[in-house]
Structure 1
């Protein structure tokens, strides 16, 4: 009887997992590194311009705001992990800022940081 009960529970769990209500568009990229297989990203060629356009803007991450100044390349490198965390989660840029990142821009940041956040 216990074996039958366990088997029924297992089948129900498997069925529930395979029929989730997730939309294919809602599935996040695999953070294991496969995400960067086809993405080449450098600080000078990609990331710095993304940060300049979306973060180092008037009233945000510039000198005199009390926030980290991302017009300074060394600050971008120093805070790379935080930038990655905040941009991947959607916390930055904030929704009311008028700025947003595309999935491709998030991938560029993620892959640059995953590769060691080099000054390249």
Structure 2
């Protein structure tokens, strides 16, 4: 099986300790859109993406801008409605996380 690149986005108030193998932080950008553009500029053509907290907002913006580039998306402890601009990505199955949790916990 071919390994797929995984982009890990830190949450708000987190630093490089959260994702020890992260090369570059997103703190240089001042908008969610700019953060998403930076990620898209620095990642392979397709990748798997996980976003924690504010990183989840960025991940949703990436999905909105370039859905064809994401093979898998994990949103962790985030919200589908960013306060700065309303809905980012409509969720088809808002309760899908419950099924995953039930599966993992048995």
State TM-score, norm by structure 1.
Answer: 0.24
Greater relative CO (CA pairs within 8 A, separation 6+): 1
Larger Rg: 1
Which is strand-richer, 1 or 2? 2
The normalised TM-score by structure 2 is 0.26
Instruction: Report which of the two has the higher share of helix.
Output: 1
